[in-house]
Amino acid sequence: MTPGARAQAAIELLTAVWDGATPPDVLTDAYFRKRRYAGSGDRRAITAQVYNVLRRRARLDWWIERTGLGLEPGPRNRVIADLAVAERTAPDDLAALFSGARHCPAAMSEAETALADSLYGRPLRHRDMPRPVAFEYPGWMDASFTALWGDNLETEIAALNQPAPVDLRVNTLKATPEQAQESLAQAFIEAQPTPLSPLGLRVDGHPRLGGTEAFKRGYVEIQDEGSQLLALLVGARPGMTVVDFCAGAGGKTLALAAAMAGDGGISGRLFGCDVSANRMERMQGRIKRAGAFGVKRRTIAARDDNWVRENAGRADRVLADVPCTGTGTWRRDVNAKWRFQPTDLDELKAIQQRILADAGSLVKPGGRLVYATCSLLQEENEQQLGWLVENHPEFEPLAMPDVWAETVGGPAPPAGPCLRLSPATTGTDGFFCAVLERRK
């Protein structure tokens, strides 16, 4: 592909990213599956350009507005701005890329040419930029992040804007960590144990794992180390009744299944629940590959579900990894940070409280409710935990160091009443977790 064709491909992908809610990596994979003519070098260059623009969006938009040309910060103008500012592409070279030739972007308008001329040689970060712009996060979250991190805000946010590693969870239903490592090595993929999860492997680079024997045979599942830790903190054991209340794609459900393994399969009862029938259907393929036979899938209603009422007070463990803003996953879904507004946060908080009430009703006396989010906002974490304890005094929070020592082993990082993970502090995605016990 020519440089101009690569630029056009980046514009098309960015348009798709900003038109919907599908993560960029999913869209990128689908885009290249339909374009087999794109070589590996083309794919790497285009993907890098797409992610660079996504990670620089706030700064690029600030520069576009600062020119005073009145241009909207759409995909074309952001690519032009990124090439001029971050890549230091001269205006004449930019015009050659935007030539209008076959597979290349249409020729630049007079205003776009003025944009390229105005921005060429500018620094990507400027002293006049507000902090949310300079560090690429929504301004309405600034107060929350400042209250949470204080002087460490810039370090934490900078880590969230870096690419994430590829973490795998070893599926102990089928392999040991050593066997999984050996199988990956046969495919020339190097992997090392993760620092915190005893079941995790961190892969060097970003290899294609789908075609490997380790993946096809179900030895490993792609799962961030932080997500693995949440599943371990549930403390699922053989013979228990365990509910993954917001199972989604099923990653934690499969981890719980491995923890409940007995002779001949899962010992006890394990339910993966979700309001989405499509997600429940897609989970079946993962269950089969992992050999996690015995997982019971349930599509439940968002309100007043019959199955929830019928099973009240029966579960030993309930995991509620609730829908949230996903601020902890910005390394993987770069566009997610711009997807929500303050009004969306209010709606999510109401949903989280409703889920907590329903999930909590399933827990039997002496059982545990595990509340988790992939958010870093206190409004979705500590404040929701406070709401739960105030409105449902039958639940008592357990000290995280004790729960960690019991379920994972060793000291909890960092020590505190709840678990908080972030790229800067633990090298994982951002997660929050609190474990509560229902009073007997």
- Known catalytic residues are 374
Whether the Cβ atoms of residue 222 and residue 166 lie closer than 8 Å to each other: yes
* Beta bridge partners of residue 170, listed in sequence order: 220
Sequence-separated (6 or more) residues with CB below 8 Å from residue 119: 63, 64, 67, 80, 81, 84, 85
Entry field: residues in the chain: 440
